[in-house]
Amino acid sequence: MRWVVFNQKGGVGKSTIVCNLAAAAAGSGLRTLVVDLDPQASSSHYLLGDAADSAKPNLFDFFDASLSLRLFRSDLPEFVHATPVANLDLVPASRDLEALQPKLEARHKIYRLRESMQELAGWDAVFFDTPPALNVFTLSALVAAERCLIPFDCDDFSRRALTQLLERVEEVKADHNPRLLVDGIVVNQFQSRANFPQRIVDELVADGLPVLSPFISASVRVRESHQAATPLVVLDPGHKLSGEFQELFDGLVEKARRGARPAPRSATVR
């Protein structure tokens, strides 16, 4: 099972969603891997703390090796690091990835990550974190993944950008990865006491878009988990948000194992 978490808009909680869903997977007994393709390395820091800055080898080294003119092929498991969370491993990102981007685009290396997926047979679940742009790293993840999750903040800017974002995913599916499915929209930082967020979500559902439940509530506890470099699911498993992440993950696994295609769900908060 391979999920990519993708949105071209920044600040929508991609890394938070990736790491907490991955922690939920690991806590469910699945050997889980996070592949961080964002040069900002937010997922890497969320899982490794300050040690992420010196984690070597990392994804830069993986892609850099793919540019070699020698007959040399690097295996992705060589770049995997254990995290403090049991069953959860990481291929860390690096700020140096930005310098590689023009070279990777010129050499059309968007398939290199997918070519390495057979090497990851020992992992039950893989999550790809992506930068807030449709660049070579995001395309690599969309090409390698099986299912796509779209984080969504309940505001007008996100609402207007959503149609274009879904079109980009469909283009990638048509051109590069016909197996890719949009699992659904993950409503993040949801404020249940405010009317506006619910109205925005109701509009998405009325448009026939696959809004997933449960929604992920807004809470300062998420920021505290960032500072602790520990996913909230692990740091405070009894917290409301931890339960939401676990329920969301369980639903995704059930859908993936059924081979079900994504479909809209009721988006009414109960």
Residue for token digits 């999550």?
A: 127
**What is the per-residue pLDDT for 163?**
85
Task: Look at residue 15 and tell me if it is in a domain.
Answer: yes
Provide the 8-state DSSP code for 218. Answer: P
Task: Look at residue 263 and tell me if it is in a domain.
Answer: no
Q: How many domains does the chain have?
A: 1
**What is the per-residue pLDDT for 115?**
92
Written as tens digits, the pLDDT of the chain (270 aa) is 999 999 988 888 999 999 999 999 999 999 999 999 999 999 999 999 999 999 999 999 999 998 876 555 678 999 999 999 999 999 999 999 999 999 999 998 999 999 998 889 899 999 999 999 999 999 999 999 999 999 998 777 777 888 889 999 999 999 999 999 999 999 998 887 778 888 888 888 888 889 999 999 999 999 999 999 999 999 999 999 999 999 999 999 998 888 755 444 334 333
Task: Look at residue 265 and tell me if it is in a domain.
Answer: no
Contact 53, 87 (CB under 8 A): no
Q: Which helix (H) or strand (E) holds 141?
A: helix 136-144
Mapped onto helix, strand or coil, the DSSP state of residue 53 is: helix
Q: What's at 213, amino acid-wise?
A: S
Task: Look at residue 269 and tell me if it is in a domain.
Answer: no
The three-point CA angle 11-157-129 to 5° equals 30
Task: Look at residue 176 and tell me if it is in a domain.
Answer: yes
Task: Look at residue 264 and tell me if it is in a domain.
Answer: no
**What is the per-residue pLDDT for 269?**
36
CATH code for the domain of 231: 3.40.50.300
Q: Which residues, at least 6 apart from 243, have a Cβ–Cβ distance to it below 8 Å? A: none
Contact 34, 91 (CB under 8 A): yes
**What is the per-residue pLDDT for 263?**
43
**What is the per-residue pLDDT for 258?**
83
Contact 22, 250 (CB under 8 A): no
Task: Look at residue 266 and tell me if it is in a domain.
Answer: no
Q: What's the pTM value of the predicted model, to 2 decimals?
A: 0.92
Task: Look at residue 88 and tell me if it is in a domain.
Answer: yes
The token duo for 106 is 């010129």
Task: Give the range of the structural domain holding residue 180, as residue numbers without chain letter.
Answer: 2-255
The token duo for 232 is 């909230």
